Amino acid sequence: MTRISLTVDGARVSDDVEPRMLLVQYLRERLGKTGTVIGCDTSNCGACTVHLNGTSVKSCNVLAVQADGAEVTTIEGLATDGQLHPVQEAFRECHGLQCGFCTPGMIMQSVDLLNDNPKPTEEEIRLGLEGNLCRCTGYHNIVRAVQHASGQGVTS
Amino acid sequence: MTATQERPADAVEKEIGRDRRRKEDQRLITGRTRWTDNITLPGMLHLAMVRSPFAHAKIVSIDTSAAKQSTNVVDVLTGADLGESLGVNINAWPITPDQVTPNHSPMPSDRVAFAGEIVAVVVARTAAEARDAAELVDVEYDELPAALDLKRSAADEVLAHPDLGTNKSAYWVFDSGEAGTGGSVEDAIAKARTDGIVLEREYRQQRLIPAFMEPRSTVVDPTGEQITMWSATQIPHILRFALAATTGVPESKIRVIAPDVGGGFGGKLQTTPEEWITWAVARRLGKPAKYTETRSESLMAGHHGRDQWQRLTLAAEKDGTVTGFKVDLLADLGAYVSLVGGGVPVLGAFMFNSIYKFPAYRFAVQTVLTNKTWTDAYRGAGRPEATYAIERMMDELAAEVGVDPLEIREKNWIKHEEFPFTTVAGLEYDSGNYEAATARAKEMLGYDELRAEQRRRRESGDPVQLGIGVSTFTEMCGLAPSRVLGQLDYGAGGWEHASVRMLATGKVEVVTGTSAHGQGHETAFSQIVADRLGVAFEDVEVLHGDTQVAPKGMDTYGSRSLVVGGEAMVRAADKVIEKAKPIAAHLLEASVDDLEFSGGRFSVRGTDQGMAIGEVALATFAAHNLPDGVEASLDSDATFDPVAFNFPHGTHLCAMEVDTETGALKMRKYVCCDDIGNIINPLIVSGQVHGGLVQGIAQALWEEAVYDDSGTLVSGSFVDYLLPTAADTISFEIDHTTSPCTTNTLGTKGVGEAGTIASTPAVVNAVVDAVRHLGINDIQMPCTPERVWRAINGAGAGGSTEGAAMPHFESGGATGNQEQPGTSSTEGAGS
């Protein structure tokens, strides 16, 4: 067991973890942060995407011990003071989700994408979300949501 | 009483037709979700499955001793340990009385029939410890020859279940000559051979994996008076029935909950070995138990879809008027006959004639057992296969006659003034307008301009050629009329149930027996009830997915929730109004005959007297002043059983660029105009169409479940199974024409499967159209660049993707146009 201390969604937490424990398992099983989900076992689907020190990571691809001392933001910590993040709002506005399982990861990745590139083209959005799989939407309205959140005009 | 006007009809926008944002989304975008895997109960145990690596083997012995010694392991159990408490996994649709159906134990103790089948279960305090210990279970197998290839399995070369003596499960036929719905197809073909056109083709429907994003998960809590199962399922009600029917627990002692469910697409229309094992373990140990599959397990052992060979014979006059269509299918069931099983191809049996006026039609399917993962419903279930076959054939016919693909379709389709129209398959199509949808789609695509560009590229010998693909699809959906299902030997009915409860505070609870997993029922159903009762959208709460809350239902699949479940809701709401009427009349001191109900308000004709339905609800709750003999409740139930399927249709057009030097494909544009009758929520409809399109496009271009020659699924992870990403896909242009359905009150038709059903042939037709002038009339799905390149370079339909390790078909042994490269002609069969 290894002792780790980190900040998750603004709260300081500290636990003994097995060295093999993944960050996503730590979030879900130890902290009850079940908003972050597991969709695959090969780091392809991106459903578990969170921010580690302000940058998106697939939390199935990070060991909990690697997050020692870090600041982690999950989908549950994205809204502030009861106000939805503009990307969350945009996903609802543009119907960018259906079953909602990929949504936490998709939103966290979209936030990261817009942090890097506040006015992306459609192609840049599509490439920027390539690591996140969605089976419901066909991506059309997810792309619209990111365009909407970026303040750019949304085509139909 | 008061004359308040809470919601005057003329001042309030109708809910139906509005692009309401979804009620579901607030929770889902903030991570406040209740997926089954999120559930943790006190003392809950975790399961890990030990699965067979062999496609077919005798189980010689299972040594669990080392696993049992592993840290925090509670028990390790085999099929022999659990015995009859395991129950069985049932087939609900024996398509013929003599169907050969292997017994399906959730955990067999003697023999495994596919790679991934469960042979032991480890129970531990944590999931990680269970998985660690599963590695220590030592199973000795005696490997048996495996039935893998569909055609060879149909010939009984190797038996998937030796004790059954055959792999042939059922042979099901519809013949219009015998049914009296049309002529003899053999006569039509014979005549066409002398003075018409006969086209014979063979197409492959590759095996697909539903690949919903939420892996399946089950939690069972046996500690209460009722045993509760949470499961990531589309079918909580059917699941409850099947548990009761097969495990000896009375139905009244079982509660099934489908909490948030992350997609299904038919893949969660199943009763699974994993659910049954979790049930048995929790009952045996008396503790809550959870099993959540890994993605690799999901791809390997969750049911697959499609997997057919289609032999097609189309007879026509020289001018392109079709005179007969004959369909012979081989359908791969996999190792067991699943819940719907052979019913999947049968759901396509009435659809190969599609929108056309064929005078003669025959459909036959042979379902075949193999040593691969079982197959069952995947989005569209039978109807994508049918649509693919006929829409490819109509393009072939157009090429043969030498006319535009849309012209040949128009020559044969049902004209809008001919509805209602009884088809050669015996179904009555109530409404539609193929001309209007096609005209709109052509306009959206810029059809004529793209045809002109195609000509230019051909004439200039451009290495990048352009193809335009057409799919003028229809489907039957809204499963289903119970009588028809009964005639087809399905084990249950197709009704749907709804309750409307009027709360004293003016809120309305609506209970539906459908079970959403991404469709947005809470939003769309709220819109329907808000309009019907004249209450606020926000005041309607839709409850579903828990057999204790929604005790009756047939669940969600087959594009049925709105057209069957929504209609039940309309009828329940209408009953509420009828029950409220005498109470309102009594309170208003008026005659019932003088009351009218509009915009949520009962008013007395010719006066300004009236009251809102919420006021009636409150007065009914108080029950201080009700008419004599009237019960103190407005709550109402309705069970609706439709008299017919409904028949959405549409025209889908796809423009593909094909690089003839590399085989690379680029989708240039995709447009569709779907006629789904009246639309409740256009935003939700757009989502259903977009998502459906990509699943159908993915079949055409990317996805395939591939087995190696020992029966191992080699596309068993998201590294290998090619789910499209945002970067692979494009934005779509969609629109609608409206021919309201005439068999339900709201005039709605299903939309959940339409995109998937329509898009696959549109894409493949576009790819073939781009290279047809090079002598190509077929490319096997998925149309990978490699297959396209091979086809261009003279190797037929592009061959299999299994590679040299596994010749999928006997070299030169089979006939057909979709063959191994180098073993068949460039033109394929029969052309």
Residues A113 and A70 in one domain: no
Q: Amino acid identity of A118? A: P
The verdict on residue A120 lying in a domain is yes
SS3 of B296-358: HHHHHHCCEEEEEEEEEEEEECCCCCEEEEEEEEEEEEECCCCCCCCHHHHHHCCCCCCCECC
Sign of the four-CA dihedral A63, A64, A68, A69: positive
Give the pLDDT confidence of A35-63 residue by residue, as tens digits: 999 999 999 999 999 999 999 999 999 99
Residues A33 and A55 in one domain: yes
Instruction: Please say if the pLDDT value at position B325 is more than 80.
Output: yes
User: How far is residue B276 from each of residues A98, B79, B253, B283, B318, measured CA to CA in Å?
Assistant: 28, 12, 16, 11, 57
Question: With an 8 Å Cβ cutoff, is A139 touching chain B?
Answer: yes
- B765/chain A closest Cα distance in angstroms: 21
* pLDDT classification of A153: cutoffs 50, 70, 90: confident
Helix (H) or strand (E) holding B579: helix B567-588
- B20/chain A closest Cα distance in angstroms: 9
Class of residue B489 by CB neighbours under 10 A (exposed 0-12, middle 13-18, buried 19+)? middle
The CATH number given to whatever domain includes residue A51 is 3.10.20.30
Percentage, residues of chain B above pLDDT 90: 94
Last residue of a domain, one of A54, A76, A98: A76
Which among B28, B31, B214 is the nearest to A97, CB-wise? B28
Last residue of a domain, one of A41, A76, A111: A76
Give the pLDDT confidence of B629-674 residue by residue, as tens digits: 999 999 999 999 999 999 999 999 999 999 999 999 999 999 999 9
Instruction: Please say if the pLDDT value at position B4 is more than 60.
Output: no
Residues A97 and A32 in one domain: no
Question: With an 8 Å Cβ cutoff, is A70 touching chain B?
Answer: no
Question: With an 8 Å Cβ cutoff, is A81 touching chain B?
Answer: no
pLDDT reported for residue B822: 37
Contacts of B684 in chain A (CB under 8 A): 95
- B693/chain A closest Cα distance in angstroms: 7
Residue of B34, B129, B213 to mutate for A, most A C-beta atoms under 10 A: B213
pLDDT reported for residue B821: 41
Distance CA B648, CA B755 (A): 11
- B674/chain A closest Cα distance in angstroms: 16
Percentage, residues of chain B above pLDDT 70: 94
Asked if B22 and A140 come within 8 Å (Cβ–Cβ), the reply is no
- Torsion angle defined by CA atoms of residues B488, B490, B492 and B494, in that order, rounded to the nearest 10 degrees: -50
* pLDDT classification of B2: cutoffs 50, 70, 90: very low
Instruction: Please say if the pLDDT value at position B828 is more than 80.
Output: no
Q: How many domains does chain A have?
A: 2
User: How far is residue B32 from each of residues A34, A48, B229, B264, B543, measured CA to CA in Å?
Assistant: 8, 15, 21, 20, 17
Top CATH class of B9-33+495-640 equals alpha beta
The CATH number given to whatever domain includes residue A140 is 1.10.150.120
Note the pTM of the prediction, 2 decimals: 0.95
Identify the CA nearest to B634 among candidates B582, B568, B566, B569: B582
Residue of B22, B27, B30, B32 to mutate for A, most A C-beta atoms under 10 A: B30
Give the pair of three-digit tokens for residue B792: 């261009």
Give the B window 756-785 contacts with A, CB below 8 Å: none
pLDDT reported for residue B825: 32
Distance CA B655, CA B444 (A): 12
Give the pair of three-digit tokens for residue B799: 């061959």
Contacts for B344 with CB less than 8 Å, ≥ 6 apart: B305, B331, B375, B376, B377, B381, B382
For every residue of B54-90, DSSP letters joined together read SSSEEEEEEE-HHHHTSTTEEEEEEHHHHGGGG----
Give the pLDDT confidence of B554-601 residue by residue, as tens digits: 999 999 999 999 999 999 999 999 999 999 999 999 999 999 999 999
Judged by average pLDDT, the poorest of A50-59, A100-109, B9-18, B267-276 is B9-18
Query: For residues B615 and B601, is the Cβ–Cβ distance under 8 A?
Result: no
- B129/chain A closest Cα distance in angstroms: 12
Q: How large is the average pLDDT for residues B194-215?
A: 98
Q: How large is the average pLDDT for residues B464-488?
A: 94
pLDDT reported for residue B796: 67
Give the pLDDT confidence of B717-757 residue by residue, as tens digits: 999 999 999 999 999 999 999 999 999 999 999 999 999 99
SS3 content of chain A, % helix, strand, coil (to 5): 35, 20, 45
Residues A62 and A121 in one domain: no
Residues A6 and A65 in one domain: yes
Question: With an 8 Å Cβ cutoff, is A103 touching chain B?
Answer: yes
Asked if A136 and B691 come within 8 Å (Cβ–Cβ), the reply is yes
Query: What one-character DSSP code corresponds to residue B35?
Result: B
Helix (H, G, I), strand (E, B) or coil at B34: coil
**Domain residue extents for chain B:** 9-33+495-640
Q: How large is the average pLDDT for residues A102-108?
A: 98
pLDDT reported for residue B147: 98
* pLDDT classification of A155: cutoffs 50, 70, 90: low
Identify the CA nearest to B655 among candidates B464, B798, B785: B464
pLDDT reported for residue B594: 97
Class of residue B507 by CB neighbours under 10 A (exposed 0-12, middle 13-18, buried 19+)? middle
pLDDT reported for residue B812: 41
Distance CA B242, CA B262 (A): 22
Last residue of a domain, one of A76, A101, A131: A76
Instruction: Please say if the pLDDT value at position B238 is more than 50.
Output: yes
Distance CA B764, CA B634 (A): 54
- A5/chain B closest Cα distance in angstroms: 22
Contacts for B26 with CB less than 8 Å, ≥ 6 apart: A92, B32
Give the pLDDT confidence of B57-78 residue by residue, as tens digits: 999 999 999 999 999 999 999 9
Q: How large is the average pLDDT for residues B10-23?
A: 87
Residues A6 and A72 in one domain: yes
pLDDT reported for residue B406: 98
Instruction: Please say if the pLDDT value at position B49 is more than 90.
Output: yes
pLDDT reported for residue B795: 66
Quickly tell me which residue has 């489908």 as its tokens. Answer: B258
* No. of helices (H) and no. of strands (E), chain B: 22, 28
Asked if B726 and A98 come within 8 Å (Cβ–Cβ), the reply is no
Instruction: Please say if the pLDDT value at position B810 is more than 50.
Output: no
Instruction: Please say if the pLDDT value at position A90 is more than 80.
Output: yes
Question: With an 8 Å Cβ cutoff, is A8 touching chain B?
Answer: no
Instruction: Please say if the pLDDT value at position B813 is more than 50.
Output: no
pLDDT reported for residue B820: 44
Helix (H) or strand (E) holding B119: strand B118-124
Which among A39, A42, A135 is the nearest to B719, CB-wise? A42
Q: How large is the average pLDDT for residues A29-34?
A: 98
* Average pLDDT for chain B: 94
Residues A90 and A145 in one domain: yes
CA atoms within 13 A on the CB side of B674: 32
Nearest CA in chain B to A46: B213
The verdict on residue A132 lying in a domain is yes
Which among A88, A133, A155 is the nearest to B723, CB-wise? A133
pLDDT reported for residue B818: 64
Helix (H) or strand (E) holding B541: strand B540-543
pLDDT reported for residue B827: 32
Q: How large is the average pLDDT for residues B37-51?
A: 98
Residue span of the structural domain in which A131 resides: 86-149
Residues A67 and A8 in one domain: yes
The verdict on residue A63 lying in a domain is yes
Helix (H, G, I), strand (E, B) or coil at B250: coil
The verdict on residue A81 lying in a domain is no
Contacts of B215 in chain A (CB under 8 A): 38-39
The verdict on residue A154 lying in a domain is no
Query: For residues B474 and B351, is the Cβ–Cβ distance under 8 A?
Result: yes
Give the pLDDT confidence of B781-806 residue by residue, as tens digits: 999 999 999 999 986 666 555 443 33
Contacts for B626 with CB less than 8 Å, ≥ 6 apart: B583, B586, B619, B620, B632
For every residue of B612-647, DSSP letters joined together read EHHHHHHHHHH-SS--TT--S---EEEEE--SS-B-
Give the A window 48-67 contacts with B, CB below 8 Å: none
Contacts for B446 with CB less than 8 Å, ≥ 6 apart: none
- ipTM comes to 0.98
Strand order in the sheet with B227-231: B73-78, B118-124, B45-51, B289-292, B217-221, B227-231, B254-257
pLDDT reported for residue B797: 67
Distance CA B708, CA B510 (A): 50
pLDDT reported for residue A154: 74
pLDDT reported for residue B5: 44
The verdict on residue A155 lying in a domain is no
Q: How large is the average pLDDT for residues A2-18?
A: 98
Residues A68 and A91 in one domain: no
Give the pLDDT confidence of B523-540 residue by residue, as tens digits: 999 999 999 999 999 999
